[in-house]
Amino acid sequence: MKKRMLDYLRLMEETDFDSMPPEKLREAKKDLLLQIGFFQHERLIHLIVTVLFALLTFMALGLALTGDNVYTFILVGALLILLIPYIKHYYLLENGTQKLYTYYDKILEIEKTE
C-alpha cells in the first residue's frame, strides 16, 4: 500500500489539471475520488490495528510493571517493535489521503472557473 500511495501521489503532482479539457478533468476527478475511497478504507483498517496494538502494548507494560515475570518485558519489547512500523504506515496513509484531498479541492476550483 505504501508504494501505491507514493506512486499515486507522484502521479497527482505531475498532473497538470489546469490544462486538461473538461471531460478529462471529470475523469480525473472520478478516478481521484475512487482512489481516495480505497485509501480511506485502508486508513481506517490501519487505525484500528494501530490502536489495538497500542492498547495491547500498554496492557502488557502494566502487567510487566506489576508482575515479576521477565517474559512480560520481552512481550512489551516485541509489541513496541511492531507498533513503530504500524504508526509509520498509518502516518503515511493519513498524510497521503489529506494530500489527495487538496488535489480534489484543486479540481473543484478549476471546475468552478469553467
Report which of 83, 87, 102 is spatially closest to residue 17, judged by C-alpha positions. 102
113: cell is 472557473
Q: Dig out the grid coordinates for 30 from the structure.
A: 472520478
- How much is the pLDDT for 1? 83
Write out pLDDT tens, residues 38-72: 999 999 999 999 999 999 999 999 999 998 889 99
Other CB atoms within 10 A of residue 21 CB: 9
> pTM of the predicted model, to two decimals?
0.82
Task: State in Å, rounded, how far the first CA of the chain is from the last one.
Answer: 35
What's the confidence (pLDDT) of residue 55? 95
What is the percentage of the chain residues whose pLDDT exceeds 90?
A: 85
Domain ranges of the chain: 29-113
Compute the mean pLDDT over every residue in the chain, rounded to the nearest whole number.
92
pLDDT tens digit sequence for 94-114: 999 999 999 999 999 998 887
